[in-house]
Amino acid sequence: MSEFGTLESRVRRKSLLSKVMKPEDCIKFFQPGQDLLWSGFTPAGYPKVVPIALAEHVEKNNLQGQWKFNLFIGASVGAETEDRWATLDMIDRRWPYQTGKNIAAGINAGRIRMGDKHLGHFAQDAGYGFYTGNGRYDIGIVEVSAITEDCGLALTTSCGIIAEALHLCDKIIIEVNTGQPSFEGMHDIHMQQKPPHRAPFLITAADSRIGTPYVPCDPDRIVAIVESKLRDKGRAFAEQDDTSEAIAGHIMEFFSHEIKAGRLPENLLPLQSGVGSIANAVIGGLAKGPFRNLSVYTEVLQDTMLDFFDGGNLLCASSCSLSLSETPGFPRFFENWERYFDKITLRPLSISNAPEPIRRLGCIAMNTPVEIDMYAHANSTLVGGTRMINGLGGSGDFLRNGYLKIMHTPSSRPSKTDPTGISCVVPHCSHIDHTEHDLDCVVTEQGLADLRGLCPRDRALKIIEKCAHPDYKPILTDYYQMALKDTLAKGIGHEPQLWDRAFKMHLNLAQNGTMKIKNWDVKLDLCE
């Protein structure tokens, strides 16, 4: 028995208790090539004991590369599941976002076929049955806190895409997690109709509720109930540092300016913050700021959101996931359960990332790119234009539809071969996920460039001046002036680029380990 109750107390539809089995007993339901739908979103709320049992089976029986599956999950899940599956060559296709060194290596080596998609679009498209040959999924594996008398599923630390696509699963395996408190009541599940019958989302504030706490489930499709006591592994975050503090400071100064100009209320507008250490650190900086009575409408709640709550600055938060760290995030959350529980609403992914409420609420979107170019295109996914990191995530859902759209990044990133590091401001992004039309501000520790109302040439000057690292400002300025002179002379200078040189910084990095080119002349070698 767990300190948080028994399996029998959590499964209130008693007829399902006849289907209780051990994780290893579920292996009989699986065959290579199946399409699998999992719960979970940015290591939270994902199934654990059944995927681990499958991995053990493959490893014990030397089935690596023979038992391969197609995984469809709301976003990344714990490394002990999907990343271990990657080491055992158990993944053929993976949509639409992942985390882990081994799964990323498999994708970039061509062993795993990954598709990248705006997460809000992926959720609804998965529910439409777009990703499998027959529009269905062979098995759905879902972690829940409880099952009601009428077979409603109370999920755990995330919603993911279960509300959208569970009805398309031929078989369903339920992991009931008794190793943590029940999250029953935190979720707001709204079941949508397909177009042309879809109704509006009547969300007028971050804490609006429009549904019920449960995902409906057909009990006849449930083939197994499995108890789990494993908690989410979560994600580790880097500590706040001078760079993230400076970025947060520039953003707070900008917000204060917008309040004085009458473009923001004193309690701002609902905040959205993306995934990762930089976003987490920036929110930590904002939590120390002067703004009060704030709200959050986002897709992930990371560790420093708890600082916001504890400081009394944050009234409520809507999200798809509690993307806390294994330590200290989740322990801190559970120790202060009563303080946080009623202030948080977890929503299905297609609602947390839907354009309609994002636009209606006027969300302030803040996300981190791999790189940004001098015209404000942003790359969120591919290093060097080819190496996948994690995926697009939900940044585009918010950047396209927010009231203010902000990208924040260090001006340079550490490199083994260059003391300054790699410039995050370049002439042209090696891959573009977000266009210049979707960004209002670019922020680095150097400063904030407000790009609203600026033509491309003025944007370039502002981004170089305010955001580029001092070591790279003269290099970028030289390129811009050369491109400007050449294109204006030809009457093609609206957005000056020299395509024979636009990626010379990237090429120099690949060949010589530094972006600090010595000459932009195309006739000269990279470092001459």
Find the helix or strand (DSSP H, E) in which 441 lies: strand 441-444
Q: What residues form DSSP beta bridges with 408?
A: 443
All structural domains of the chain, each given as residue ranges with its CATH number in brackets, are 7-228 (3.40.1080.10), 242-472 (3.40.1080.10)
Q: Where in 302-440 does DSSP place strands (E)?
A: 314-319, 321-322, 344-346, 364-367, 371-373, 378-379, 382-383, 387-388, 404-408, 412-413, 422-423, 425-426
Residue in 299, 338, 445, 528 annotated catalytic:
299
CB-based contacts of 479, cutoff 8 Å, min separation 6: 427, 498, 501, 520
Total residues belonging to the chain: 528
Active site residue 299: yes
Distances (CA, A) of 23 to 17, 122, 301, 411, 502: 15, 29, 30, 47, 54
pLDDT, residue 237, reads 73
Find the helix or strand (DSSP H, E) in which 486 lies: helix 473-489
pTM for this predicted structure: 0.94
- Alpha-carbon gap, residue 11 to 16, rounded angstroms: 7
pLDDT, residue 1, reads 45
pLDDT, residue 527, reads 52
* Tokens representing residue 181 in the block: 């408190």
Residue-wise pLDDT tens digits, 483-524: 999 999 999 999 999 999 999 999 999 998 999 998 898 766
Phi, psi of 423 (to 5 degrees): -70, 130
- Alpha-carbon gap, residue 81 to 208, rounded angstroms: 34
Gyration radius from the chain CA atoms: 24
b (16+ CB within 10 A) / e for 296-323: bbbbbbbbbbbbbbeeebbbbbbbbbbb
* Tokens representing residue 85 in the block: 């599956």
Query: Are 454 and 462 a contacting pair, CB within 8 Å?
Result: yes
* Tokens representing residue 350 in the block: 């297609």
Q: Is the peptide bond before 32 cis (omega within 30 degrees of 0)?
A: no
Task: Point out the residues of the chain with pLDDT beneath 50.
Answer: 1, 528
CB-based contacts of 87, cutoff 8 Å, min separation 6: 102
Residue-wise pLDDT tens digits, 268-310: 999 999 887 778 877 888 888 899 999 999 999 988 899 989 9
CA 237 from centre of chain? 14
pLDDT, residue 279, reads 82
pLDDT, residue 274, reads 83
